[in-house]
Amino acid sequence: MKKVILLLVVSLISQIGFTQELVKLDYSDFENSQLMKSSSLEDFKNLATKAEIGVAYLEQNNTKTYNAKNGIKLIRVTSSAIEELNASLDFSSSVEMIIIDILKPNFNLETIDCSKLKQFDNLKYIYFRYQIEIKNNSELQKINCLPVNVKQYYTKQLAS
């Protein structure tokens, strides 16, 4: 009986260890410093909002970098250029966050080659910013081939 219980516990822990959760954030959450601190999201907030962070904007066949002297820690890409994440990037080892702006319905995360995401050794967060109408949460997407330590968040925000 002990072996069965132990096997059950190990299997549950294993399943939890490889489950990728997609957590909802609201823009107003960024203003709530107590929530950011209690949820260990201060680093997430800094990466997503600080002007001095080194950032790369991936566009179709073009990459623009800003504050590269600080190390590129943030990649911003739109859903229409998402396949640019498949490119080998010189700064990939310093990237800690990828922000994906979803601008069109029916975008397909399957265009990302999971083996190419391994180049991001220090990746901590993927942040999906839905700027389209989502009728139900079944339309939400996440990347299922990431290491467990990479957290995935999303925000629903219609462009005004």
| Residue 76 in tokens | 């911003």
Pairing of strands 97-102, 125-130: parallel
- The C-alpha atoms of residue 96 and residue 122 are separated, in whole angstroms, by 5
User: Which 3 state secondary structure label does DSSP give 154?
Assistant: strand
Is a pLDDT exceeding 80 seen at residue 114? yes
Inter-CA distances, 145 with 23, 94, 149, Å: 17, 20, 12
Q: Is there a contact between 29 and 159 (Cβ–Cβ < 8 Å)?
A: no
The structural domains of the chain, with segments of one domain joined by +, span 22-156
- The C-alpha atoms of residue 106 and residue 63 are separated, in whole angstroms, by 24
For residues 141 and 7, the model is more confident at 141
Q: For 27-70, what is each residue's pLDDT tens digit?
A: 667 677 776 776 778 888 889 888 899 999 999 989 999 999 98
Question: Token pair 């990347």 is at which residue?
Answer: 143
| Residue 63 in tokens | 């990459």
Average pLDDT for residues 113-142, to the nearest whole number? 83
Element (H, E) at 100: strand 97-102
Element (H, E) at 34: helix 33-38
DSSP 39: T
Indicate the pTM of the whole model.
0.79
